[in-house]
Amino acid sequence: MRYPLVLTLLLWYAIKPQAQTLISCGTDIIAQQSADTNPTYANEQLAYEVAYRHKLRSPVSRKKSNNVLFLFPVVIHILHDCSPIGSDNNPSDTKIKEVLTRTNERFSHSYTNAPSFESPLYGIDTEIEFCLASVNPDEEFTTGILRHNDSDYSSGPITELSPYFGESLAWDPSQYLNIFLVANTDVAGVYLGGSERDFIIINTTFLWDGLLAHELGHYFSLKHIFSNEVDQACPLNTDCLLQGDFVCDTPPKGMAGKNGGTCDLPSNSCDADEDDLSENNPYRPVSMGGLGDQADMLSNYMDYTGDCWAAFTQGQKARMHFNIEERRMSQLLGSITTCMETPPLYEIALEAVQIIQDTITSTWIPIITIANNGNADVTELQVTFSAATTRFSNEYATKIEPNTITSITLPSVDFPSGLQEVFISIAPSDDTIDAYIGNNQTCLSMDFGTSVSSTSNCQPIVFTKEVIVCNNNARVDGHAGPGIFRDTFPMSNGCDSIRILDVVVSSARIVSEIDASICEGEILEGRSEKGAYIDIFTSSTGCDSLRILNLSILPTLEETVAISICNGENYQGHTTTGTYIDTLVSYSGCDSIQIIKLSVEDTGNCLTTNTIESLIAANITFYPNPATERLFIQSTVQETISYAIYSITGILIQQPSLLKERNEVKVQEWTPGLYFIQFTTKKGHSTRKIVVE
Ligand SMILES: [Zn+2]
């Protein structure tokens, strides 16, 4: 399907209150030229309008279910000439998202302080919404924002830029709504129609939600509500479906702009409002059931009245819905997937880059602002700078939580002197893969010369610093908080750097919890008993921090072993019958007391005596050791013997039980580590080590 080849050139004046740039409009001239020179264009235009009028006159078409939401996936292409991310010509992801959010609020007429109008036809919810595409044509994740460092195509007349954009950069217009932001061109904004193009170009200097709403109106086939710039006369209004902007509830208007009126007190430049007597015209005479003659609708997005802009009309909504239902269902169906992709685990984006000169050392300090768009913490960051033939790459430990934006001041970098194009790229360096690397690099053109002091090219470097204090009287760098303070610091190159100091008062206490253990009899910070202790410390920022100390006491292990040895042998250095107490260091690092009941047998008895140690050695086997799930203990002992299992800290893990021929202990839920099995007979007891993994 071919679309009408509409070229809507918008040359702009007073598009926003603060930008009084005078540019005129070429819309009607270009449209007329197209109709004169391109029969296909003329025929398609005619066919579109015939179908539109047919639709409006058909009673069925006016019945529309409530709360239909048309959602369009948008891709933003930014073309700049080595402008750093976050600058006017290369706006940050955050700025783009803010503009799109406010554009959505204009389309739904739901923004804060959106005016209400006497006419029920004004200021309606268009039920059209836009999202940034989250899937690209190759079905990979995207943020919907593409940045091109391109000195050839970041500036120039629309007629030179648009063929390249259409042929080389635009994503399939039947799937995506393409918007190009350029550093400079001959219009503030323009919608270029036709199936080959079908995209919007915005001069980035003029990027704001009002202008975007205007151009999107053109995208959905709305025309300016004023007649044209050529004759500037009031249009005929004998059939409002055939004349003017083909929308009956926008009052006829000759000239663009305010024509002497103000947003609150508009003039009434045309008296043809009542001329169409049919029911199509809501402004037919009051005597015929109409609303009568109207003042100029300066609030309409399709006029040139930037600071008044606040409304689409019911009729404009119907024309946009007609355009969508007849021409744009493919974008709409695509949006089911392209708008809905869930955020990936790892996705970081450069939001802004500044390089400032230290006023004392004259070294160059980069400050980068990073957004974490993923679902996981970023813990390490690799930052690479390339300038001329020099390349610096460093890894920095940092923590950026999901859905946050953080500014990081990096150690100074020794950039080569003179005017340089610096390329800066970031990557998560902890073996994670960034889902979208299109927003990980930027270019920055800067003069690192130290000898020339020029103030003519000064752009103040602005950086923000947040300080948290704990009461309203705290002073930070001479400012009594809380508040936002602006300080100017001169740099050695004669330019200023501006610091935005945000002093925040927080009563929140920082709570931390630590676990510690000591041996029985030892003292930690005056404590020798098991328990949870709360201490309050004052941090360097004057804020209280509260620490919970969970103290556990490791018991002294005591074990008794009964040992028989033959005369002439020794057991741990002992050679005569008796009770010995040895102090050892256990695996926990605490003392372990071993009581040895040693009997030394004479040679005759020695062969037949069965000590507990030799009894166990000869008759008991346990396996596997280390054990992971189950431990088996096999016994061929005839006499009664019991066993119990203790942790390394002496805690009873398994109650004493009688040893059978085959015993099974389930250990899979035990904490991995060292355990002791204690075997007991009436002769005494003996301990063996087992390891659970
Ligand atoms: Zn326009």
- Cα(2) to centroid(ligand 1), Å: 22
Pick from 286, 287, 253: which is nearest to 271 by CA?
A: 253
Where among 554, 580, 613 does a domain terminate?
A: 554
The pTM of the full predicted model, rounded to 2 decimals, is 0.61
Residue-level pLDDT at 28: 57
Do 327 and 385 lie in one domain? The reply is no
Q: Kindly state the tokens that stand for 675.
A: 């355990």
Q: What is the pLDDT of residues 285-326, one digit of tens each?
A: 999 999 999 999 999 999 988 899 999 999 999 999 999 988
Establish if 163 belongs to a structural domain.
Answer: yes
Query: How far does CA 242 lie from the centroid of its chain?
Result: 48
2 lies in some domain:
no
Q: What's the pLDDT tens digit per position in 217-250?
A: 999 999 999 886 556 678 889 999 888 899 999 9
State percent of the chain over pLDDT 70: 85
In a domain, 421, yes or no: yes
* C-alpha–C-alpha distance, residues 465 and 397, integer Å: 19
Residue 27 has pLDDT above 70, yes or no: no
Tokens of 197: 């193009």
**Is 189 in the same domain as 268?**
yes
Per-residue pLDDT tens over the stretch 5-18: 333 433 333 333 33
Q: Which CATH number does the domain housing residue 254 bear?
A: 3.40.390.10
- Quote the CA–CA distance of 329 and 366 in Å, as a whole number: 47
Taking 80 as the threshold, does the pLDDT of residue 486 lie above it? no
Measured between its terminal Cα atoms, the distance across the chain in Å is 68
In terms of phi and psi (left: phi > 0; alpha: psi -120 to 50; beta: otherwise), the region of 44 is: alpha
Residues 562 and 455 occupy one common structural domain = no
620, pLDDT greater than 80? yes
Kindly indicate the confidence band of residue 594, based on its pLDDT and cuts at 50, 70 and 90.
confident
Quick check: is 1 in a domain?
no
* Residue-level pLDDT at 300: 95
**Alpha-carbon distances, residue 506 vs 130, 471, 474, 544 (angstroms):** 38, 7, 11, 10
CA of 66 to the centre of ligand 1 (A): 29
- Domain termination site, one of 305, 338, 371: 338
Question: Is 519 within the bounds of a domain?
Answer: yes
Binned at pLDDT 50, 70 and 90, residue 395 comes out as confident
Give the 3-state secondary structure of residue 166. Answer: helix
Q: Specify the CATH number for the domain of residue 471.
A: 2.60.40.10
Same domain, 217 and 353: no
On whether both 309 and 381 belong to a single domain, the answer is no
Nearest Cα residue to 369 out of 143, 154, 98, 87? 87
646 in any annotated domain:
yes
**Residue at a domain's end among 338, 362, 387:** 338
Domain that holds residue 155: 7-338
Give residue 122 CA to ligand 1 midpoint distance, Å: 19
| Total residues belonging to the chain | 693
For residue 308, how far is its CA from the centre of ligand 1 (angstroms)?
Answer: 15
Q: Is the model's pLDDT at 677 over the cut of 70? A: yes
pLDDT tens for 524-569 read 888 888 888 888 777 656 667 777 888 888 877 777 777 777 777 7
Residues 561 and 489 both lie in one domain: no
The answer as to whether 563 is a domain residue is yes
Higher pLDDT, 476 or 619: 619
Cα–ligand 1 centroid distance for 330 (angstroms): 25
Residue 122 has pLDDT above 70, yes or no: yes
Hey, which bits of 429-530 come out as E strands? Answer: 441-447, 461-469, 475-476, 479-480, 483-490, 496-505, 510-519
Give residue 154's pLDDT band: very low, low, confident or very high (50, 70, 90): very high
Residue 343 counted as domain residue: no
Domain count, the chain: 4
For residue 569, the domain's CATH number is: 2.60.40.3080
Looking at the structure, tell me whether residues 60 and 204 fall in a common domain: yes
- Cα 119 from Cα 273, distance rounded (Å): 15
> pLDDT tier at 164 (50, 70, 90 boundaries)?
very high
pLDDT digits (tens, 9 = 90+) for 423-461: 899 988 767 788 888 888 888 888 887 543 444 455 667
Residue ranges with CB less than 5 Å from ion ligand 1: 10
**517 plus 565 within the same structural domain:** no
* C-alpha 25 – ligand 1 centre gap (Å): 8
Dump pLDDT digits (tens) for 652-667. 888 888 888 888 899 9
Same domain, residue pair 527 and 466: no
pLDDT digits (tens, 9 = 90+) for 557-593: 777 777 777 777 777 778 888 888 887 776 667 777 8
**Same-domain check for residues 395 and 416:** yes
What's the confidence (pLDDT) of residue 148? 94
- Please give the pLDDT value at position 381: 87
Q: What angle do CA 106, 109, 115 make, to 5 degrees?
A: 110
Q: Please tell me the distance between residue 46's alpha carbon and the centre of ligand 1 in angstroms.
A: 20
High-pLDDT (> 90) share of the chain, %: 25
For the chain, helix (H) and strand (E) counts, in that order, are 10, 32
Q: Strand 652-658's sheet: what is its strand order?
A: 652-658, 642-647, 673-681, 684-692
Strands 496-505 and 461-469: parallel
CA of 190 to the centre of ligand 1 (A): 7
Residue 26 Cα to ligand 1 midpoint, Å, equals: 9
Residues 198 and 110 placed together within one structural domain of the fold: yes
- Judgement on whether residues 601 and 663 belong to the same structural domain of the protein: yes
Query: Cα of 265 to ligand 1 centre, how many Å?
Result: 23
Query: Is 90 exceeded by the pLDDT of residue 74?
Result: yes
Distance 52 CA to ligand 1 centre (A): 20
| C-alpha of residue 204 to centroid of ligand 1, in Å | 16
